[in-house]
Amino acid sequence: MGLENVFEQFPILETERFYLRKLTTEDAPEMFSYFSQDDVTKYYNLESFTHRQQAIDLIEKFNLGFIERRQIRWGAELKETGRVAGTCGFHAIDAKNFKAEIGYELHPDYWGKGIMPEIVKEIVAFGFEKMDFNRIEAMYDPRNEQSGKVLIKSGFQYEGTLRKRYFEKGQFVDAAIASIIKIP
């Protein structure tokens, strides 16, 4: 398919429990419900939401990234309820080097149920098969042990920790890096 073809129309993916689809402003209430929780934003480079408009703005930012061919972020819609439980996708797409960074978040009601590895594996497969990536990497706060576990369950390998890599919420924080490589 190739990277350029991916951006012609937003791809819809499916896992056992989820439809992975384009976010719409109708998803703002669900996104606000989890982005307004400090447990969700604790390791995220943004403050907890206080207004629903912030969720709308983030959805529009994700969708603009797709239009500009810089990122692709899927909403994870639960098949059983039709509600968005989180998002996952690629940013920092580097076509020249056949790689991208993956990111995700999930409503705390669904933590610990194997959901994010299910979603990540599907999106990684799409990245390798349809976007021609050779490498997909993830940067996460090493204190966020759950995120590290999600990546390992999804086939990523921990590569190391970059000391004081980011300045977030008034302090320098480390960034762990993990990656998965396309197997020929």
Q: What residue ranges do the domains of the chain occupy?
A: 3-133
pLDDT at position 118 is 98
Asked if residues 5 and 63 have their Cβ atoms less than 8 Å apart, the reply is no
Asked if residues 32 and 54 have their Cβ atoms less than 8 Å apart, the reply is yes
In angstroms, the CA 93 to CA 66 distance is: 11
pLDDT at position 140 is 95
Q: What is the pLDDT along the chain (184 residues), one digit of tens a residue?
A: 567 788 999 999 999 999 999 999 999 999 999 999 999 999 888 899 999 999 999 999 999 999 999 999 999 999 999 999 999 999 999 999 999 999 999 999 999 999 999 999 999 999 999 999 999 999 999 999 999 999 999 999 999 999 999 898 888 999 999 999 998 7
> Smallest Cα–Cα separation from 104: which of 154, 56, 64?
154
> Smallest Cα–Cα separation from 141: which of 57, 55, 41?
41
Would you put residue 64 in left (φ > 0), alpha (ψ -120 to 50) or beta? alpha
CATH of 3-133, one of 3.50.50.60, 3.20.20.20, 3.40.50.11780, 3.40.630.30: 3.40.630.30
pLDDT at position 2 is 64
